[in-house]
Amino acid sequence: MQERIPYREIYWNIPGNAGQIFLYLLVTFATIIMTVGIMRDIARWRSGRPDMRIGELPARTRELLVQIFGQQRVLRRYWPGMMHLLIFAGFLALFIGTDIIAVEEDFTIPLMGPAAGQILVGGFYQVYEVVLDTLGLIFIGGLGWAWWRRYRHHPDRLDNRDTDAWVLGVLLFLGTGGFLLEGLRLANQTLGAAEIPVYTQAWARLSYVGFGLATVFRSIGLGDGSPVGLVLHQLLWFTHALATAAFIATLPFSKFKHIFYTPLNTFFYQHKPRGALDPIPNFAAEIEQDAPRLGLATLADLPWKRRLDLDACMRCGRCQAVCPAYASGADLSPKWLITKMHDLMHGEPVQSSDGTIRSIRDLATDRAVDPETPGAVPLYGPLFTENEIWSCTTCRACMQECPAMIEHVDDIVDVRRHQTMIAGEVPPGVKQVLEGIESAGNPWQLPAGDRTTWAAGLEVPLLAEKQQVDLLYWVGCAPSYDDRSKRVARAMVELLQAADVDFAILGEEETCTGDPARRMGEELLYQAQAETNIATMQQYSFKQVVTTCAHCFNTLKHEYPQFGGGAGTEYEVVHHTDLLAQLIGQGRLQLNHPVNERVVYHDPCYIGRYNEIYATPRAVLAGIPGVELVEAPDANRERAMCCGGGGGNVWMEGWGKAGINTIRLGQLCAAEPQTLALACPFCMIMFEDAAKNAGMDETPARKDVAELVLEAVRGRA
């Protein structure tokens, strides 16, 4: 049999120009519907408050490419990530393949012969067929995996709506239908006037899926020009075109809109330091108004970018799977927090995590607002419970895990801001902490005169006496007032003295950084604390600020510069684990005494996920003679669960059925350690409580990294 040049006849078996006209009209109509839906969504976003997200274009572009085409966040969870990668790669390949067909049909000029002037001809066409058949199979495999996972395996973090079934169903139909069309074409198409069957050509076998189906069709009488086979091909072609158009038209109305909105959300993701909450825009002007808009009371207060968040969410539930509050049995699910606001923004019945569905009219009636204006419905009360908003530890695990780059913590803190500064409805523990910071400069409401009692007998210099030092040791409230954390402060001073560091403390001039107030939503109190501390520090000269508190570290380093603090310009802010690593590396601290213990390190959220300090504490611990450093299985570094103390929760009663600190202690004890190595006083407080409640007493021991280093420097007392 004569071998012909490989080429693709695009509208084979489609009568006259009818197929082309039908297809173009269909796609045009579908595109119009899709565009109307997208413009409607954009209008919803634009009704939000201003939010500048247009700077740092190279960094934004790089992040977009890494996250979308590299699937970096998606692949953090290996098996679900691989499932999504199969679907993504297959869909992208089929989309590009379809575009190549469109370009050939609409933008090339046929010359002499059936293959002249075409793109899909010769060697390129053969490669094209192999690649598309392979990736088409991958696409169908990924979709089948997704169907099994969603409707059979059904992990807790997934919920199903009608649009989910539509998306999976139509994509499966398009994938399988494409192969069936290919099989019917190969079984029936002939080449040229000689009517040579395509399936007799060696290159036809490169379309190996279609060729296999063609063999089946021929064996059952649907090949070799069979009238039934030709009619079936036409019916399937028009049905396939209709399904494609329906898919395009419904994109903004289904969960699959994330193919547009997730890349957009990724591009506009915050590029400020992770640990810095945004100040309230026009804060000074707002507090002078009769009806100030502080925080998030209704959707009308939500900035446009965080409205985009709501549409970018694909309800994958990865945020929920890593949320410590959810794991404890509290009301909070970051996924449902976003989902409920999405439903409200779209004017749809609002569904909660327990399956409860409430209409916009019911929600509006609860608070006597216009049901025709979803943006006026209060969020706190009708949508969010007290437990839901205040159980958040602000640990950032949800934001770290989210493949759509949604900013859950900012939403929660903004709701707290409204409740704290406007509504005045806060849990008792929050009220006590805020009153303590305002009246005594510390959350425990203890006298400022007691701030240095921890240093008795250590001869710790005050900065007011020295005026100029190399290093300011910012002690923090917990090491100043909490009995267990005082021992860490003393250990740190002994190490600084052993290393002959020129340092001092502020003593009674030091007051709370305001971190608890800011995370609890009291921005006015936080700013007052920040201004006081910044003014105090500006009186003196120093090169570095070191702190044993992860929260003080984050606030001094990333948030004080918002209000004129000199971090990064006048002085460097370092965490004590980094400083200890420097002193050990310089030979100023000699680790001469073995500490023969099996040690597991807990990553504090505010130096781990917020500031990516993972390697240094481990390097310090691993360098201590005798220490066997182990890891909590599948729960370390960026995946480490919060101790439960962040977001002000160290001063509040647990919101769930189990304590977050108890759950985390169990994760750490899975490594069978003798000692928990800690690097934040909040973590120390939480684990001391968890161990006491679990009846563990001193096994495993809880020690700060500084205490372990001191043992290696001086030996055990």
pLDDT in tens, 598-655: 999 999 999 999 999 999 999 999 999 999 999 999 899 999 999 999 999 999 988 9
Q: Which CATH number goes with the domain that contains 476? A: 3.40.50
**Measured distance CA(30)–CA(244) in Å, rounded:** 9
Lowest mean pLDDT among 93-102, 226-235, 391-400, 585-594: 93-102
Q: In this structure, are 84 and 228 located in the same domain?
A: yes
Contact 411, 380 (CB under 8 A): no
Q: In this structure, are 462 and 550 located in the same domain?
A: yes
Report which of 644, 630, 618 is spatially closest to residue 397, judged by C-alpha positions.
Answer: 644
Q: In this structure, are 649 and 570 located in the same domain?
A: no
This prediction has a pTM of 0.92
Q: In this structure, are 345 and 447 located in the same domain?
A: no
Query: What mean pLDDT comes out for the span 408-435?
Result: 94
At residue 368, the pLDDT reads: 63
At residue 2, the pLDDT reads: 64
pLDDT in tens, 516-544: 999 999 999 999 999 999 999 999 999 99
Confidence bin at 279 (pLDDT 50/70/90): confident
Report which of 636, 634, 642 is spatially closest to residue 617, judged by C-alpha positions.
Answer: 636
The encoded tokens of residue 80 equal 């679900």
Report which of 550, 54, 74 is spatially closest to residue 271, judged by C-alpha positions.
Answer: 54
Q: Which CATH number goes with the domain that contains 91? A: 1.20.950
- 1 in a structural domain: no
Report which of 52, 60, 293, 254 is spatially closest to residue 164, judged by C-alpha positions.
Answer: 254
- 102 in a structural domain: yes
At residue 111, the pLDDT reads: 44
**Measured distance CA(132)–CA(714) in Å, rounded:** 67
The encoded tokens of residue 553 equal 């570290």
Residue 581: pLDDT above 50?
yes
At residue 113, the pLDDT reads: 44
Q: In this structure, are 228 and 93 located in the same domain?
A: yes
End-to-end Cα spacing for the chain: 94
- 460 in a structural domain: yes
- 272 in a structural domain: no
At residue 122, the pLDDT reads: 86
At residue 112, the pLDDT reads: 40
In degrees, to the nearest 5, what angle opens at C-alpha 72 toward C-alphas 170 and 138? 35
- Dihedral (CA of 23, 24, 27, 32) sign: negative
Residue 106: pLDDT above 80?
no
**Measured distance CA(441)–CA(452) in Å, rounded:** 13
Confidence bin at 370 (pLDDT 50/70/90): low
Report which of 413, 606, 391, 611 is spatially closest to residue 517, judged by C-alpha positions.
Answer: 413
Identify whether 700 is preceded by a cis peptide bond (ω within 30 of 0).
Answer: yes
Contact 230, 222 (CB under 8 A): no
Q: In this structure, are 548 and 673 located in the same domain?
A: no
Lowest mean pLDDT among 18-27, 429-438, 439-448, 551-560: 18-27
For the chain, the average pLDDT equals: 91
Residue 191: pLDDT above 60?
yes
Confidence bin at 366 (pLDDT 50/70/90): low
By CB atoms closer than 10 A (0-12, 13-18, 19+), residue 324 is buried
Residues facing 600 on adjacent strands: 630, 676
pLDDT in tens, 459-474: 999 999 999 999 999 9
Q: In this structure, are 578 and 603 located in the same domain?
A: no
Range of the domain at 371: 283-425
pLDDT in tens, 297-336: 999 999 999 999 999 999 999 999 999 999 999 999 999 9
Residue 559: pLDDT above 60?
yes
- DSSP element (H, E) containing 473: strand 471-474
Q: In this structure, are 577 and 688 located in the same domain?
A: no
Decide the pairing of beta strands 503-504 and 471-474: parallel
- 299 in a structural domain: yes
CA atoms within 13 A on the CB side of 38: 16
Query: What mean pLDDT comes out for the span 664-680?
Result: 96
* 3-state secondary structure labels for all residues of 484-495: HHHHHHHHHHHH
User: What are residue 425's phi and psi, to 5 degrees?
Assistant: -110, 100
62 residue type, one letter:
R
Query: What mean pLDDT comes out for the span 163-184?
Result: 94
Residue 499: pLDDT above 90?
yes
Residue 665: pLDDT above 60?
yes
By CB atoms closer than 10 A (0-12, 13-18, 19+), residue 347 is middle
pLDDT in tens, 44-66: 999 999 888 888 889 899 999 99
Percentage of the chain surpassing pLDDT 70? 97
Lowest mean pLDDT among 149-153, 231-235, 573-577: 149-153
**Measured distance CA(504)–CA(131) in Å, rounded:** 67
Percentage of the chain surpassing pLDDT 90? 73
Query: What mean pLDDT comes out for the span 585-603?
Result: 96
- 277 in a structural domain: no
What is the count of structural domains for the chain? 4
Q: In this structure, are 24 and 151 located in the same domain?
A: yes
- 550 in a structural domain: yes
Q: Which CATH number goes with the domain that contains 314? A: 1.10.1060
Q: What percent helix, strand, coil does the chain show, rounded to 5? A: 55, 5, 35
The encoded tokens of residue 611 equal 């500031």
Tell me the angle at which helices 576-585 and 705-714 cross, rounded to the nearest 10 degrees: 30
Residue 400: pLDDT above 80?
yes
- 258 in a structural domain: no
Query: What mean pLDDT comes out for the span 131-156?
Result: 93
- Over the Cα atoms of the chain, what is R_g? 31
Q: In this structure, are 311 and 415 located in the same domain?
A: yes
Report which of 396, 422, 398, 404 is spatially closest to residue 276, judged by C-alpha positions.
Answer: 396
Residue 92: pLDDT above 70?
yes
The encoded tokens of residue 56 equal 């740092």
Query: What mean pLDDT comes out for the span 693-715?
Result: 91
* 3-state secondary structure labels for all residues of 45-111: HHCCECCCCCCCHHHHHHHHHHHHCCCCCHHHCHHHHHHHHHHHHHHHHHHHHHHHHHHHHHHCCCC
Q: Which DSSP string do the residues of 515-577 spell out, in sequence order?
A: HHHHHTT-HHHHHHHHHHHHHHHTTSB-SEEEES-HHHHHIIIIIGGGGT--BTTTBEEEEHH
Residue 247: pLDDT above 90?
yes
- Dihedral (CA of 523, 528, 534, 537) sign: negative
Q: In this structure, are 479 and 367 located in the same domain?
A: no
The residue out of 392, 425, 458 marking a domain boundary is 425
Confidence bin at 30 (pLDDT 50/70/90): very high
Residue 117: pLDDT above 70?
no
At residue 586, the pLDDT reads: 96
The encoded tokens of residue 232 equal 């079936």
Q: In this structure, are 87 and 229 located in the same domain?
A: yes
